């Protein structure tokens, strides 16, 4: 069936706020409510864009930006501390229509890394910029800058103090810090014109060092979007997602193997990631609006908005 | 047919020294000879490893290291100058047997970036390290360090002077500098046990800035190896290779689409890369020892060693 020019499809937005060993026992109720509220807000703001006929690309930007601004999540404000006690931020965005992409790794002081990733995609000849030199690009392009204090939260500081001195890095959810488990954020969307987009943003692993880059700013690993297949955003121990090229692999299994989105996600998560011992989660959305949220951890913060349906927010059960 | 335990397969090594607008007219004969000699040396040293029963992983390391040490290629010694007049080096390596990988982006002063990528893979919990902080890791692990002067070649300096001041970045082959066209290096190998491996190393684009990272250190984009399919190393304008996840896409088309290596490379290079306007080349080797070298530029420095056959060195014709 071919779609007529002005015909529209139902829009969809899916977001995540990280996956990890979130357990009901450890999660106190008040905090659970805060998370759900924050997820609902991101879903609402991103959804508003789609409702008005905006692009999937704008919707994932807005949803991820909203979560970057929320201190509960490990992205933007509230990012984990690195080995030196600073905040290194990673983000990426991809447009499924054009296969254009932008990403930034180990950026500091940029309030919304996803906006920088977007500007890199939109205005530059690059895909991936990194480190202190990428800040020059942010400054030249008028991105909003914040001092280090802005990104600092007491909870993250305590989390870092417990990790510091060790050579140990961990997912923020897996820390020994009680009742505080947060994570990478991401969004995938399909707009009324049927275009797909994906975006991801993170502060990476607690106490990370040596300029480590995870999967979040890597197109194909943590983020991928292609109108012919699906849009994907991942969260978890990035090294495994890079080795398996997870986001792109899901798309490839659909495109070349003729599998459904659900089957592709199952193959990658239940078979490949499991075999290597990788932990994490994924949100994915195919060109027909099918949604998959999958994780092999105890929980994943996530929300789903489908046009004409009630918003859904989950933390635990698949 | 199942392979008996001690049965071996013929080893194969393929290398490249970059692709670009190398034209016979611009290439003088003496320089062409130098290139061929350098390629032959890398092929010989890497091949020696395979001949003695060494691993594909060791062979690609040795071949790439040999080209990093040669000032003719844009990798290690002889790398292009970045915007600030320094040398930012990228490299990656992947083991097709374990899907383990190591990579480094924007590293300075490390004599052999491919060795650092290997050590990251072998010893650390990371896949990708970057920038000045990654130098700490290199120092802690005893990697060989050189001062900036070591990496400097007069030819690269002149090339940079011509680009400096402009916001222009280009492939080193595409510069206005006469008779001087060099590039990213890479190797793929199959050892006697049938294991595959791939490695890539580069100085990136001339006059690059903002901490730009290309495809060479990105697993899935510039480098990929998987015993079930193939080993791939790319060269060209990295942004296109990242957006198309080229190396992994070739593997996926084989694995999920049931295509041959040659067909997969054709689809990615002749269709996808062409559609986006990307330029570059690829060397690839499948699990059965089939070799593909393909480029949509005028030339690519490359060499092929197959057990029991005469070594082949090419610059122009496909």
Provide the pLDDT for residue A24: 66
pLDDT tens-digit series, residues A190-220 = 999 999 999 999 998 888 899 999 999 999 9
Residue A225 lies in a domain: yes
Number of domains in chain B: 1
Name the residue facing A106 among B130, B224, B239 (closest C-beta).
Answer: B130
| Radius of gyration, alpha carbons of chain A | 18
Contacts of A137 in chain B (CB under 8 A): 210
- Considering the domain boundaries, does residue A1 fall inside one? no
- Phi/psi for A96 (5° steps) reads -70, -20
Q: Tell me, what's the pLDDT at B20?
A: 78
Q: Is B95 a domain residue?
A: yes
CA A82 to chain centre: 19
Task: Select from B240, B248, B247, B250 the least CA-distant residue to B276.
Answer: B240
Report how far residue B225's alpha carbon sits from residue B117's, in angstroms, rounded to the nearest whole number: 15
Considering only alpha carbons, which residue of chain B is nearest residue A244?
B99
Cα A152 to Cα A77, A115, A172, B80, distances in angstroms: 7, 20, 15, 39
Q: Which two tokens stand for residue B54?
A: 């060494």
pLDDT band, very low/low/confident/very high, at A45 (cuts 50, 70, 90): very high
Tell me if chain A has a CB within 8 Å of the CB of B248: yes
> Given this model, what pLDDT does residue B155 score?
85
pTM of the predicted model, to two decimals?
Answer: 0.94
B32 touches chain A (CB under 8 A): no
Say which residue the tokens 């890497």 belong to.
Answer: B46
Question: Alpha carbon of B268 to those of A245, B190, B265, B285: distances in Å?
Answer: 17, 22, 5, 15
CB spacing of B213 vs A129 below 8 angstroms: yes
**Residue B263 resides in a domain:** yes
Q: Which of B247, B268, B279, B242 is nearest to B105 (CA)?
A: B242
Q: Which tens digits make up the pLDDT trace of A219-255?
A: 999 999 999 999 999 999 999 999 999 999 999 999 9
Token look-up 């069936």 returns A1
Q: When comparing pLDDT for A170 and A37, which is higher?
A: A37
Output the six-digit token pair for A125. Answer: 């000849």
Pick from B133, B245, B276: which is nearest to A211 by CB?
A: B133
In this prediction, residues A83-97 reach a mean pLDDT of 95
Mean pLDDT value of segment A21-34: 74
The mean pLDDT of chain A is: 91
Cα Rg of chain B, angstroms: 18
Strand ranges, E, within chain B: 12-20, 89-95, 101-107, 128-130, 185-190, 196-202, 223-225, 230-236, 280-286, 291-295, 299-306, 312-314
Q: How many CB pairs under 8 A join A and B?
A: 137
Q: Is A139 part of the contact surface with chain B (CB cutoff 8 Å)? A: no
CB interface of B with A, residues 96-125, below 8 Å: 99-101, 105-106, 125
Distance separating alpha carbons of residues A185 and A113, to the nearest angstrom:
12
B111-145 pLDDT per residue, tens: 999 999 999 999 999 999 999 999 999 999 999 99
| Record: contact B209-A169, CB cut-off 8 A | no
Backbone CA torsion sign across B135, B136, B140, B146: positive
Question: Could you tell me the two tokens for B50?
Answer: 């395979």
Q: pLDDT above 90 covers what percent of chain A?
A: 76
Does A275 reside within a domain?
A: yes
Q: What is the pLDDT of residue A175?
A: 47
Question: With contacts defined as CB-CB under 8 Å, which chain B residues touch A278?
Answer: none
First and final C-alpha spacing in chain A: 32
Q: Does residue A134 sit at the B interface (CB-CB below 8 Å)?
A: yes
Note whether residue A306 is domain-resident.
Answer: yes
Cβ neighbours of residue B308 under 8 Å, at least 6 residues apart? B10
On the question of pLDDT at A176 being above 50, the answer is: no
Chain B residues within 8 A of A125 when measuring between CB atoms: 169, 239
Contact between chains at B125 and A210 (C-beta distance less than 8 A): no
Helix (H, G, I), strand (E, B) or coil at A195: coil
Average pLDDT for residues A129-154, to the nearest whole number?
Answer: 95
For A291, the token pair is 């949604």
CA nearest to A198, candidates A222, A179, A181: A222
Rounded CA gap, A223 and A103, in Å?
10
Give the span between the Cα atoms of B160 and B316, in whole angstroms. 26
* pLDDT tens per residue, range A47-67: 999 999 999 999 999 999 999
User: Which of helix, strand or coil describes residue A160?
Assistant: helix
Cα A135 to chain centroid distance, Å, stands at: 21
The reply to whether residue B130 touches residue A131, judged by beta carbons under 8 angstroms, is yes
Half-sphere exposure of A309 (CA within 13 A, CB side): 13
- Selected residue of A106, A131, A273, A274 to mutate for chain B interface (largest B Cβ count, 10 A): A131
pLDDT for residue B248: 98
Residues 33-62 of chain B with CB under 8 A from chain A are none
Catalytic residue among B184, B223, B235, B293: B184
- Domain with B266 in it: what CATH number? 3.60.20.30
Confidence of residue A277 (pLDDT cuts 50, 70, 90): very high
SS3 A10: coil
Contact indicator for A84, A123 with CB cutoff of 8 Å: no
pLDDT at position A1 is 43
Q: Which chain B residues are Cβ-neighbours of A126 within 8 angstroms? A: 210, 212, 239
By residue range, what is the domain housing residue A96?
A: 12-314
Q: Name chain A contacts of B131, Cβ cutoff 8 Å.
A: 106, 130-132, 211
Residue A27 counted as domain residue: yes
By Cβ distance, the residue of B132, B239, B256 closest to A127 is B239
Contact B127 A242 (CB under 8 A): yes
Whether residue A128 and residue B209 make contact (CB cut-off 8 A), yes or no, is no
pLDDT at A11 (0 to 100)? 98
Q: In terms of pLDDT, which residue wins out, B298 or A268?
A: A268
Per-run averaged pLDDT (10 residues), chain B, 318 residues = 71 94 68 93 98 98 98 92 91 98 97 98 97 96 96 88 71 46 85 98 91 97 98 96 98 98 96 92 97 93 97 88
Give a yes or no: residue B299 inside a domain.
Answer: yes
Per 3-state DSSP, chain B is made up of helix, strand and coil in percentages (nearest 5) of: 35, 25, 40
Average pLDDT rounded to a whole number, residues A2-8: 68
């Amino acid at each position: 069936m071919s779609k007529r020019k002005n015909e529209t499809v139902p829009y969809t937005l899916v977001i995540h706020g990280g996956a990890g060993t979130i357990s009901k026992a450890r999660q106190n109720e008040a905090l659970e409510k805060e998370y759900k509220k924050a997820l609902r807000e991101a879903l609402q703001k991103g959804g508003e864009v789609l409702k008005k006929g905006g692009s999937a690309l704008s919707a994932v930007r807005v949803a991820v930006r909203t979560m970057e601004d929320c201190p509960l999540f490990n992205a933007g404000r509230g990012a984990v501390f690195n080995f030196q006690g600073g905040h290194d931020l990673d983000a990426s965005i991809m447009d499924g229509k054009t296969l254009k992409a932008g990403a930034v790794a180990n950026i500091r002081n940029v309030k919304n890394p996803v906006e920088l990733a977007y500007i890199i995609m939109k205005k530059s000849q690059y895909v991936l910029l990194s480190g202190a030199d990428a800040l020059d690009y942010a400054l030249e392009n008028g991105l909003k800058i914040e001092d280090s204090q802005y990104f600092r939260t007491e909870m993250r500081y305590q989390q870092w103090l417990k990790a510091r001195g060790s050579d140990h890095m961990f997912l923020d959810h897996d820390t020994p810090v009680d009742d505080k488990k947060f994570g990478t954020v991401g969004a995938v969307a399909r707009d009324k014109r049927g275009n797909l987009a994906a975006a991801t943003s993170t502060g990476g692993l607690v106490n990370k060092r040596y300029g480590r880059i995870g999967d979040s700013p890597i197109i194909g690993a943590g983020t991928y979007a292609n109108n012919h297949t699906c849009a994907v955003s991942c969260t978890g121990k990035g090294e495994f997602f890079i080795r398996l090229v997870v986001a792109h692999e899901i798309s490839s299994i659909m495109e070349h193997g003729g599998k459904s989105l659900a089957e592709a996600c199952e193959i990658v998560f239940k078979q490949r990631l499991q075999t290597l011992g990788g932990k994490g989660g994924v949100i994915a959305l195919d060109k027909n609006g099918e949604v998959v949220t999958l994780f092999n951890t105890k929980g994943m913060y996530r929300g789903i908005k489908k046009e004409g349906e009630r918003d859904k927010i989950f933390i635990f059960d698949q």
